[in-house]
């Protein structure tokens, strides 16, 4: 009989009141180490969570957050280290063990089985249904049909259901990985409120996020990881952000906003015939009427709440789905894309937000970057290895991809993976890049690098369409921003006027007051926003 099972049988049913002293951490991990081949994902990580605290786990991508979380929840085994829960050393050999110990994670990717309905998913994990429904209502989804198949539920809702499922079993330690990513603002707010109340109720939460606003509003303390080691534990107080960033990066954060602004002014001078011209684009019920232009040397932002048709817009421009109406012109000539290769032929490349969608995870960095080179049948012959090496290395160098684990892309950190998906199109010299939430869930440092790269590309006369769910990114990267609501372009701002209030109003479909429209798209129908809002 295994040691783990003995411990499980002997353990008392856990009750927080038996061990409430704040000096005794609920969860105490020290010296946690994990190597993947030659790469050390964790060198010496520690994490100590007190009862009733919301504890932020922070670190740049590749710092080891995900690895630590996976070890805590039993998804992978550590090479060394000690984990105490309620003062007891514990074997966490599987997610089920972690669950029995009162540790429950909610990962970035929803863990519901797509082909089962919500109720069956609940039964699968033995989750009580009534508490689950209560939590779902609490978070602000009053009309959930639990007979709905998970596959048909939008991502944002799925994440909420995942959270509610975890809350329903009342875990002692709840692990939230980028919980608010991909959530529309209203849902995110509710979720944060619920998390805060967990702390008040004496339960602990480990909260992983890149958003300082959330962390300062929510967390009591933060543990900061860098390069697989814990570099500090701080109390969250006003003004702590700078220090945390310093700890995460090891250096002072670069002020790229100024640099970006300067680059913008250069870019505005570029013009002429639009690179991409979209008119009255329609796609079923998802896109009703989208028109805008993208000039050479321009970065146009697309801002929208969850599910307003932005996915379909990008898919149509990338050649993944055919629009049902409207026209797309590239360099003044009409095009009809029936496959992504048509779009690529026209120099239009698509970078999806989900890296798992764009990368062959078991293949090398080099093969992933060089993939488009072999796509067409006339390129199926022998590869000119040396020339490929030169092109790939230059793209790797330009994006500063960390190539220590280049043999398999799946061993790279999320930020580096995202860089590979962009490097591919730098190597292929694409003239237009469609970036769909390309900075989702990656660290501050890598984000900065990507912003800088996009500005550089614009400076070279290339054009970028940039969808983001984070408003501050609009300010940092874009020359103009197009706001989509209900499948229509409801407004267009030059970046100087795209302050958060204006964007938010437009994204919720509210009219902009008496101010005149600016930009190429001056023909927004007067009734459209009101109609879409109703």
Partner 1 sequence: MTDIATMPQPVSFGRRLKRFMADRPLIPLIVLLIILVVILQILRPGIVNERWIANTAKFAIPLAILAGCQTMTMLTGGIDLSVGTVATMSAFIMATQIVNQDPAVAFLLAMLPAVLIGLVNGIGVGVFRVHPLIMTLGTSLIGTGFLQVYQRTVIASGARIPDFLNWLGTGLTYGFPNALLLFVPVAVLIVFVLNRTGFGRLLYAVGDNERAARLSGVRYWQVITALYVLSSLLAGITGLLYIGLIKAPSLSLAEPLVLPSVAAAVIGGTSIFGGRGGYTGTIIGALILTVLTTLLTILQMPEGGRRILFGFIVLFVTAAYLRIIEDR
Contact string 44-73 vs partner 1 (x = CB under 8 A): ---------------------------x--
The alpha-helical segments, DSSP class H, found in 327-381 are 340-345, 355-358, 365-370
What residues from 380 to 399 belong to the interface with partner 1 (CB under 8 A)?
Answer: 380-383, 385
Considering only 372, 486, 509, 519, the residue that binds partner 1 (CB under 8 A) is: 372
**Residues belonging to the chain:** 534
What residues from 302 to 321 belong to the interface with partner 1 (CB under 8 A)?
Answer: 318, 320
Considering only 16, 50, 91, 521, the residue that binds partner 1 (CB under 8 A) is: 91
Minimum Å distance from CB 370 to partner 1? Answer: 7
Residue number with CB closer to partner 1 (366 or 462): 366
Q: Does 5 bind partner 1 (CB under 8 A)?
A: no
Q: Are 234 and 50 in contact (CB under 8 A)?
A: no
- Cα angle 363, 368, 370 (rounded to 5 degrees) comes to 130
Say how far apart CA 323 and CA 315 lie, in whole Å.
Answer: 9
Minimum Å distance from CB 358 to partner 1? Answer: 5
DSSP conformation class of 288: E
What residues from 406 to 465 belong to the interface with partner 1 (CB under 8 A)?
Answer: 424
Q: Does 13 bind partner 1 (CB under 8 A)?
A: no
Q: Does 511 bind partner 1 (CB under 8 A)?
A: no
Q: Are 424 and 368 in contact (CB under 8 A)?
A: yes
Residue number with CB closer to partner 1 (432 or 475): 432
Residue number with CB closer to partner 1 (373 or 508): 373
Say how far apart CA 502 and CA 511 lie, in whole Å.
Answer: 10
Considering only 303, 350, 436, 467, the residue that binds partner 1 (CB under 8 A) is: 350
Instruction: Using alpha carbons, select from 410, 425, 411, 421 the residue that is nearest to residue 446.
Output: 421
Q: How many other C-beta atoms can be found within 10 angstroms of the C-beta atom of residue 376? A: 11
Residue number with CB closer to partner 1 (285 or 374): 374
Crossing angle (nearest 10°) for helices 256-269 and 444-459: 20
In sequence order, the 6+-apart residues with CB closer than 8 A to the CB of 412 are 62, 365, 401, 402, 405, 406, 420
Q: Given the DSSP bridges, would you call strands 103-106 and 173-177 parallel, antiparallel or unpaired?
A: parallel
Residue number with CB closer to partner 1 (353 or 487): 353
Residues touching partner 1, count (CB under 8 A): 53
From 46-54, 257-265, 363-371, 498-506, give the range in contact with partner 1 by CB under 8 A: 363-371
Which residues lie near partner 1 (CB under 8 A)? 31-33, 36-37, 71, 76-83, 89-93, 318, 320, 339-341, 344-345, 350, 352, 356-363, 367-368, 370-377, 379-383, 385, 424
């Amino acid at each position: 009989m295994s040691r783990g099972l003995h411990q499980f049988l002997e353990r008392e049913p856990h009750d927080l009141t038996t061990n409430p002293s704040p000096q005794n951490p609920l969860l105490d991990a020290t010296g946690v180490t994990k190597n993947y081949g030659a790469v050390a994902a964790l060198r010496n990580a520690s994490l100590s969570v007190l009862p009733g605290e919301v504890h932020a786990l922070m670190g740049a991508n590749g710092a080891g957050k995900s690895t630590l979380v996976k070890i805590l929840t039993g998804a992978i085994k550590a090479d060394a280290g000690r984990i105490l829960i309620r003062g007891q050393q514990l074997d966490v050999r599987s997610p089920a063990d972690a669950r029995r110990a009162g540790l429950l994670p909610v990962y970035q990717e929803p863990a519901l089985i797509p082909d089962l309905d919500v109720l069956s998913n609940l039964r699968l994990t033995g989750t009580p249904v009534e508490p689950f429904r209560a939590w779902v209502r609490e978070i602000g989804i009053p009309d959930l049909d639990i007979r709905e198949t998970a596959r048909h539920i939008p991502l944002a809702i799925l994440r909420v259901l995942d959270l509610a499922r975890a809350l329903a079993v009342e875990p002692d330690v709840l692990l939230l990985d980028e919980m608010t990513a991909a959530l529309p603002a209203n849902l995110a707010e509710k979720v944060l409120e619920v998390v805060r109340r967990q702390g008040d109720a004496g339960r602990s939460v480990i909260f992983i996020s890149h958003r300082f606003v959330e962390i300062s509003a929510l967390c009591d303390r933060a543990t900061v990881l860098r390069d697989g080691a814990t570099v500090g534990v701080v109390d969250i107080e006003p003004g702590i952000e700078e220090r945390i960033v310093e700890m995460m990066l090891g250096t002072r954060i670069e002020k790229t906003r100024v640099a970006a602004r300067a680059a913008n002014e250069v870019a505005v001078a570029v013009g002429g015939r639009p690179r991409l011209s979209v008119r009255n684009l329609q796609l079923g019920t998802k896109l009703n009427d989208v028109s805008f232009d993208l000039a050479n040397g321009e970065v146009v932002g697309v801002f929208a709440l969850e599910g307003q048709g932005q996915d379909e817009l990008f898919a149509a421009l990338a050649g993944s789905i055919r629009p049902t109406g409207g026209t797309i012109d590239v360099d003044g000539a009409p095009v009809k894309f029936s496959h992504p290769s048509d779009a690529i032929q026209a120099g239009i490349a698509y970078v999806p937000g989900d890296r798992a969608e764009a990368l062959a995870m078991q293949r090398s960095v080099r093969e992933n970057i060089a993939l488009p080179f072999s796509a067409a049948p006339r390129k199926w012959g022998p590869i000119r290895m040396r020339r490929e090496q030169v092109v790939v290395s230059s793209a790797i160098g330009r994006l500063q991809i960390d190539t220590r684990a280049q043999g398999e892309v799946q061993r790279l950190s999320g930020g580096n993976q995202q860089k590979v998906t962009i490097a591919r199109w730098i190597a292929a010299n694409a003239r237009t890049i469609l970036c769909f939430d390309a900075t989702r869930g990656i660290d501050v440092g890598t984000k900065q690098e990507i912003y800088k790269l996009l500005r550089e590309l614009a400076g070279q006369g290339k054009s970028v369409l940039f969808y983001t769910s984070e408003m501050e990114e609009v300010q940092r990267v874009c020359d103009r921003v197009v706001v989509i609501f209900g499948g229509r372009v409801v407004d267009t701002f030059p970046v100087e006027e795209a302050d958060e209030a204006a964007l938010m109003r437009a994204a919720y479909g509210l009219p902009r007051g008496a101010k005149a429209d600016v930009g190429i798209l001056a023909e927004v129908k007067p009734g459209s926003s009101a109609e879409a809002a109703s």
